[in-house]
Structure formats: C-alpha cells, structure tokens
Chains A and B, each alone.
Chain A
C-alpha cells in the first residue's frame, strides 16, 4: 500500500514559508518561460495574420523588403496583364500597385520618434486584405490629402487619431478614419492614396505589386514567368512567406534569448527545489524510519517524496501561468531590425504554451526532488529511528 497523497500535501502545508519561497522561485521561472513563448507565438500570429496564402508580393530583385524595392510603372503594367491574376467583381483585376515608405512620427506620451510605415494604396488593396476593417470615421477619398491610420498607430502616435493631422512631404494629411486589421502588421501602418503619396514623396516608382492568384496552385508558374521575363527585374513571393522572411531575425533573436534564459533560470529554480527537498528529508529522518517500521516499502517513501516535489512544481507552474496570462493585456511595440519599421505584437497564450509551461514546472519539480527522494528511500530503518 502506498503512502496517502495527503501526507505529501500536509508536509508542504506544515512548512509554509519554505513552500511559499520555493514555489515563488519556480513560479517566476515558469512566468519567464511562458512569457517568452507567448511573445514568439504573438509574433508568429501577427505574421500569419498579415500574409494571405493566395496573395503574391512582387518586389525588385535583390530587395528584401518593400521599402528597399522599386517597381517601374511599365513593369507593373506588364504584371497586370498576366492571366493568372484573379478577377474580381466588375471585371477588375485583384491587383494593387502600392508604394511604401517610412516616416518618423513622435509617440504619444514621450515624444520619442518611431518609424512608421506609410502605404500608398489603390482601391484593390482593400479587397486583397479582407482582414482590414474600418472601425471609426470614413475611408479617405482617392485623390485627396486624406489618410487612415491603423488602430495601433492611432493609439500610440501623435496625430494618428480621427480628425488629427500629420505633416509630411510638405503637406498636411488629415486622418479621416481608423482601421483595424486584427493581429496583423497592417495595424501598425498608415494608408493613403498611392498616387497622392507618390507625388508628395517624389517617388516615380511603386514599391511593390500585390495580386491574388486566380488559382492558388499556379504560384510556381507565375513565379517562373515573372523571374524569367527579361523586362521584369522582379522577384515574386507568396505574401505569407514574404512576411515570415521579414521577421526572421526578430524570431531568431527571441528564440536565442528564450532558450538561454529558460535554461539558466530553471537551473536556479531546480536548485531551490533541491534545497527544500533535501531539508525535508533531513528533518524527517525519524518519521521516515517510523513509516518504514510500519511496513511502508522503500518505493512508497520514494513516491511520497517525489510527489511532494512534483506538487511544489505544479503549484509553481500554476502560479506562474496565472500571472503570465495577464500579459495578454500588453502589446509589445518595437522596431523590426530588418525593415526598420515599427511592428507591434501581443503576448499570445495558447493551449500548447499552457501545457508546455505546466510540463516544464513538473520537470523542474521532478529533477529537484529525485535525488533527495532517493536519499530518503535508501535510509536504514534502525539508523533512521535512532537519529534524534
């Protein structure tokens, strides 16, 4: 027969201060572990939501981002005539020639400047990005100095709200609407009429051409045609892939940071658990002797102490995840190293992160408790009873 579960639980309860301190240490480790996973997940979600699998982004050969790229008007016109481009309502091709630049805008609050993406759009741009919805105000009129701002920009940057105005390119631009694009990177952009913006910034060329494929599986064919055409010095990528490439450095950075922090921190917490469990074993030598004398086997003793340590880990895991779940209320806004543009993403808690965090805390509890539990199980009955 095994030692009842309540024995392990009550032992923890008796030494409350020690238990609380050990659990607090583990909770913090799980918190950090979960926070970093949530951040990576949030970044991934943002990227997935930004791109659409059926859309193709065409930029200049060699360029890695739309900001670096330039697509001549004549090249854009050639793209428009390709048969693979989907046709929308009214026979219009689902293809948008866009212009993208970065401008400095001061933040609300501390006035520190951030690099904000301004995208010059065409009416088709909205059809290509169904995730973009107007939530306040009205759409900017084509051919006017009107713009609309992403929800993230409106909140964080000066002059981004409805009715406010921004000055760039020697003109005042009135913000007439706020759009919401969910988790996607578009929420950190400002959109206006492409032709007006190209005039203002004196850019005679587009930055990119985005179109929807009539048949999603025809991508390879289109890519070959675009890259093989001597008139076009352009590269085609699926939109999903394009956004993933843009944040590869950021994702790698988060991964390296996450792994090194987790490893180091968990060592600290495991040591904490070990100290607690060794002390628990040492203090209870007599008790262990008594239990053995009563007929409980070595295996039950081992199980009881392991259970105690796993319980410590479990409590730590629960506490850590509880506090980590509040992180979902925060948004991280930072500059993407690759594009130099502002990118905002949330902490995202998924079920996978939840069980990973819990499993991680149990592993910490197990590793911390296994050696002390063996020491407890190996004790000789007579010697253990003789200890005072």
Chain B
C-alpha cells in the first residue's frame, strides 16, 4: 500500500510533465483503437458471412454473368437446400456521393438465406406483391429519410436508364454485425425491363447464393457445382461466402497493411515520448536512488519504482484513451458510413489497447531502470539534477 502511494506521489511530482505524457498516451491509444476499428470494419463483411452459404459466380470474373438456367441445375445437386440469385445493380441515388450497395435479387429466397435480415411478415408480403417494390436497410432508410411507400429513383450505371422503385419494407439486422445499409429489389423487375431494352443481356444472373444442408459438406458441394459446368461457355467458380468476402478484401490488402503498420507507428511514437519522460525523471532522481541504496534497498526495489511509475502513467492514459474510443467511433461511423457500413469497436481492440499500453510502459522504463540500478552510491550522491 505504501509503495502504491509512493508511486502515485512520484508520478505526480511534475504535474505538468505527467499530465502531458498521459495526454500523449491517451491520444495515441485513441488513434490506435480507431485504426484497429477501421481494420475491423474492413473485415466486417467476412465476419458477417456464414459458412453454410456458397457463392457461385462466373469463373472469369465478377463482371461476367451466368445464365439463369443454372438455377435449376444447381438445385438438383445433392446437399443444396436453397438457391437464390441476383445481380449487382450499381445504381446511383441522385448523386455518386450517396453510394450504397443495391442488388436485384429473388427477394423471398434471398431473405430465407439471410435469416439475419429481419423483415416483418406484412412488409415481406407487401414487397412480394409489388413488382417495383424494394427493401432497404434501417440505416440506409434513416440516412435518406425514406419511409414505407416512398418512391425511390436510381440512375443505372450497368443497366442504363432511370429506375423507379417503391419502398415496401425496411429490414433490421439481427445483431450489430449485420450490414443495415443495403437495398434489394425484384430481379424479375430488372430482367423484364432489360428484356425489352437489351434482349441479349436478359435472363442472366450475376451470382447465385446457395444454402447448403450441412456446412461440413460445403467444399464438396462447391466442387460438384463447378464440375457440372466445366467446359461450358460460362464456367463457374463456387466458394463459401467467407472465402468470397476474403478474396475481395485481399485485393485491397495493401491498404489494410498500410493502416496496420501506421497503427504500430503511433505506438512507437508514444513509446519515444514516454521513454523520454521516464529518462528525464530518472536522471533527476539519481541522487534519491543513491539514498535508497544507502538505506539498504536493492536494485530490485529501485527498478520496481521506475517500472511502477511508468506503468501507472501509461495505464492511466490507456484507460482514458480506451474510454474515448467509443464516442470517437460513433462520430467516425457517421462521417464514413459510405466506406464502412459497419463500424463497431470490438472487445479485442480494447485488449490490444491494454497490451500496447503495457508494452509502452515497460519499454519506456527499461533504460532508466538499468541506469538507476547500475549507479554507484557515491557517484549518485554527488550527482546534481
């Protein structure tokens, strides 16, 4: 107990310096936490994906479609429970800046595949009755102030023209990891319109989403699907939803790596700052350490005092920084909703914060402690601060 008081008193002997150091650590931990959360947001799609869903797409690349006739052939394959299909629509709402994901899908089977998208039965009914009906996520509807029954016009980029939809349902996520900023509408509406305008592009699906009975068989089923379309005009590539999402992210890997590196850099910067504080503190107290030694305290005690003080300062900053991460993330999530529909602080981030602060505290104390322990009594007593 007495030691703790000594540490506390020591730490706040230079109030301004300690305050500045704690402030520095708070900022660094806050920045570290935010960067980690950005990385988490990057991988949000992967975390939200399920092992029991497969994605089938054209083997050449995502921009090539598959014939709609594949639907029935996939359904016949052993172990397949549900088949849904859709196209990335890529429509623009008023301005390019208002980007959000919009898909033309077979709504009823799609929602069966995604039980995490919760839509009330009467809204589902209303969507199914209206060919121009669409479903939007809660966050998306809030962002543009859409209400049920509103008419929404998207400008097509892949499918030319102005497309009119009527909002018939707003889905909620089952939990925080569900993306509530997507929009779906009837694939049939897309297909019928395209058939009139550009017949050669009709009856094609951009992807098939497949629900399997037993997730353990997913790999086997994926291989069977691909094998049945081998050497056809549209060869397929089937993988689990997770692998598909990871593959997409791996293309932007360079950015993720950069952000990760930068998050380490901020810790190193603060390490230099704290190490500086501790070095100055220890230098000023060399005389005191010599007195301690004269009184019979060993190197162990002196090192303990320095390490304790360093950790006290870094942990105080850590607690403040971690606490501030939550409100900061909330502000950020609003500003960057276009890039990151899901932006949650994970518990793991807080653990990493603590780990980083411990590391900073320990590393900062190593050199000063080593110097204090090594100092000879006579030399130390002679030392002027």
Contact = CB atoms under 8 A, between A and B. Distances in A.
A204 B21 CA distance: 66
A374 interface: no
Nearest to B284: A283
A264 B200 contact: no
Contact of B64 (A25, A60, A201): A201
A335 B259 CA distance: 15
Contact of A18 (B99, B255, B280, B385): B280
A261 interface: yes
Given A113-B247, A114-B251, A271-B24, A25 B273 contact: yes
Interface stretch (B131-139, B142-150, B154-162, B177-185): B154-162
A332 interface: yes
Contact of A67 (B14, B63, B254, B269): B63
A275 B233 CA distance: 69
Contacts of B275: 21
Contact of A115 (B16, B28, B251, B266): B251
A256 interface: yes
A261 B32 CA distance: 10
A267 interface: yes
A29 interface: yes
A322 to B, nearest CB: 16
Q: Which secondary structure characterizes the binding site on chain B? A: helix
A233 B284 CA distance: 78
Contacts of A278: 16-17, 20
Nearest to A283: B385
A267 B27 contact: yes
A188 interface: no
A275 B156 contact: no
Contact of A275 (B31, B61, B99, B276): B276
Which one of A101, A275, A279 has the highest number of Cβ atoms from chain B below 10 Å of its Cβ? A275
B254 to A, nearest CB: 4
A67 B266 CA distance: 39
B157 A64 contact: yes
A280 to B, nearest CB: 9
A17 B253 CA distance: 37
A21 B158 contact: no
Contact of B339 (A202, A253, A269): A253
A271 B273 CA distance: 8
B288 to A, nearest CB: 15
Contacts of B17: 275, 278-279
Interface in A49-108: 60-64, 67-68, 70, 101-104
Interface in A91-141: 101-104, 112-115
Contact of B155 (A24, A29, A62, A248): A62
Contact of B21 (A18, A104, A168, A275): A275
Contacts of B233: 170, 202
Contact of A269 (B198, B269, B279): B269
Interface string B248-260: 0011111100110
A340 interface: yes
B60 interface: yes
B270 interface: yes
Contact size class for B? 35 or more
B3 interface: no
A246 to B, nearest CB: 11
Contacts of A46: none
B222 to A, nearest CB: 16
Given A115-B61, A278-B17, A334-B253, A68 B31 contact: no
A336 B37 CA distance: 22
Nearest to B28: A268
Interface in A254-270: 256-257, 261, 264-265, 267-269
A68 B90 CA distance: 9
A272 B157 contact: no
A183 interface: no
A261 B155 CA distance: 35
Contacts of B280: 18, 275-276, 279
Contact of A342 (B28, B251, B269): B251
B158 A68 contact: yes
Contact of B273 (A21, A257, A333): A21
A153 B104 CA distance: 34
Which one of B30, B233, B251, B255 has the highest number of Cβ atoms from chain A below 10 Å of its Cβ? B251
Contacts of A249: 99
A271 B61 CA distance: 50
B157 A275 contact: no
A31 B272 CA distance: 15
B262 interface: yes
Contacts of A202: 233
A64 B31 contact: no
10 contacts: A18-B276, A70-B198, A104-B60, A201-B60, A248-B96, A264-B266, A268-B24, A268-B270, A272-B273, A276-B276
Given A103-B60, A202-B233, A264-B27, 15 more contacts: A25-B272, A61-B160, A102-B62, A103-B61, A112-B247, A113-B250, A170-B233, A248-B96, A264-B30, A267-B27, A268-B24, A268-B28, A272-B272, A332-B258, A335-B251
Interface of B: 14, 16-17, 20-21, 23-24, 27-28, 30-31, 59-64, 90, 96, 99, 155-158, 160-161, 198, 200, 231, 233, 237, 247, 250-255, 258-259, 262, 265-266, 268-270, 272-273, 275-277, 279-280, 284, 336, 339, 367, 385
Interface of A: 17-18, 21-22, 24-25, 28-29, 31-32, 60-64, 67-68, 70, 101-104, 112-115, 168-170, 201-202, 204, 233, 248-249, 253, 256-257, 261, 264-265, 267-269, 271-272, 274-276, 278-279, 282-283, 332-335, 337, 340, 342
